[in-house]
Amino acid sequence: MKRRSVFGVLLVFALILLAAPARAHTPLPQGIVSVDTMNPHQLRQKILDGYSPEIPWEQAYGEFTDVPAYIPGITVEQAWDYISDTYKLMEWTMSVRNMQPMSPLNGVTRYIAEERLPPGGNTYFLEIKHPETYTIDWWVGHSPEDIWMHYYFRVLDAQEFASKPGVLLTWVNFGHANFDRDPYLHQAWLMMEIAHGIERDNLVKILQWRAAGNSGPIDTAVMQQLGLINVEMMDPMAIWGFIASQVTPTVSWDTLYDQFIGSHFFIVDAPQEQVWNYLREPENMNQWTLSLRGVHDFGDDLVAIERLSPHGLILGDMDVHPESQMIDLRLGKIGHGHHGRDRYFMNSTLRVFDAATCSGKTGTIVVWISYHHVRYDSSPEYSELWRLLPSKNKLAAQNISLLMAP
């Protein structure tokens, strides 16, 4: 479908605002934080109150662990071809080796592999791929019938989402009730950020090495050349010691929210389908966002008014992916001389999961990732917008939880 011109969209939008009768006010649940419940000064103070230079480690990585990366010098197709090959886990993980296929479990592809870090033994994988969004979901466990640790991977075009060449890799690990029941597992979970960060770095090095035209095996000489950390290069207990030494009492706000912002949240007892059907409708942003109002979907374009910084008219689009229950939302301020999708710099993804499958709890999980676009560095206003976005997103997530509560 041919996209309307921005002028045409704005003209129609203005006519709607002028002609539409006042709608009856819909009562909001108690606790909603937005321009509808407090004045802009109070709302900005509420956002500022959510900022903290240092965050306790367990608070930062207690429920979800994000292990993202920006990888220059590689295409989405190159990254996807490698990551989507399950057997490549034996190259870039620290300790998964000798992977073999098994019979499916409940219709889902299943594998068995050796785990060469303590406590050792076999590990089992379930895998679901969504090639249309370059997405993989893996579940891992130590019993062939009880595979519960959930990892979500996605590869995105960095040019489209951050206005720079290369790819964005997002990797989210889900906390689980099993981690909470066992002190040993809980401690292991708190080390997950470091452990999977090492594997993320291994993956990035291999992807860039492959993209440079290298096609040979990842033997010990290549591992040493690339500086990989794994059981071939280090004693397993030395690896655990290194991981443990990297866990600190706190993590800085700027470290946690550098180029990616994870604003994931859990909605107790809310059915997954109900949350998905709500979030996929763009005009519901008039309820759950803090300050976007007059949001209207013209089919090819979204138009809205931003009542906090950056004030003014906003143009955007929303790509809805029903197969993976994922939404890519892109927004940009009108009138800054940018064209096409490059005008969109407030870009994020929301994905809806059944919490029982991911975390062993009843309800729905929404994984919400915001991407650092180069324009966030183009002015003090936009830099401040990015710095406070985690706080703003957290308040919006609380709004969604209140609106979706049974």
Taking alpha carbons only, the member of 148, 170, 152, 175 closest to residue 64 is 175
Are 106 and 45 members of one domain?
Answer: no
Q: How far is CA 165 from CA 127, 191, 201, in A?
A: 29, 32, 19
Domain for residue 11, yes or no? Answer: no
Give the domain-ending residue among 247, 275, 304: 247
Taking alpha carbons only, the member of 49, 42, 68, 27 closest to residue 256 is 68
Domain for residue 17, yes or no? Answer: no
Element containing residue 180 per DSSP (H, E) = helix 177-181
Are 93 and 140 members of one domain?
Answer: yes
* Weakest-pLDDT range from 19-28, 118-127, 247-256, 284-293: 19-28
Domain of residue 302 covers 29-53+257-404
Statement: residue 26 has pLDDT above 90: no
Are 243 and 280 members of one domain?
Answer: no
Domain for residue 9, yes or no? Answer: no
Domain for residue 1, yes or no? Answer: no
Taking alpha carbons only, the member of 30, 7, 44, 3 closest to residue 308 is 44
**Is the Cα torsion angle 174, 178, 183, 184 positive or negative in sign?**
negative
Are 48 and 92 members of one domain?
Answer: no
Burial of 124 (0-12, 13-18, 19+ CB in 10 A): buried
Are 233 and 279 members of one domain?
Answer: no
pTM, two decimals, is: 0.93
Structural domains in the chain (count): 2
pLDDT value, residue 355: 98
Give the domain-ending residue among 222, 247, 272: 247
Average pLDDT, the chain: 93
Domain for residue 12, yes or no? Answer: no
What share of the chain in percent tops pLDDT 70?
A: 92
- The amino acid present at 235, given as its one-letter code, is D
| Complete DSSP assignment for 89-100 | HHHHSSSEEEEE
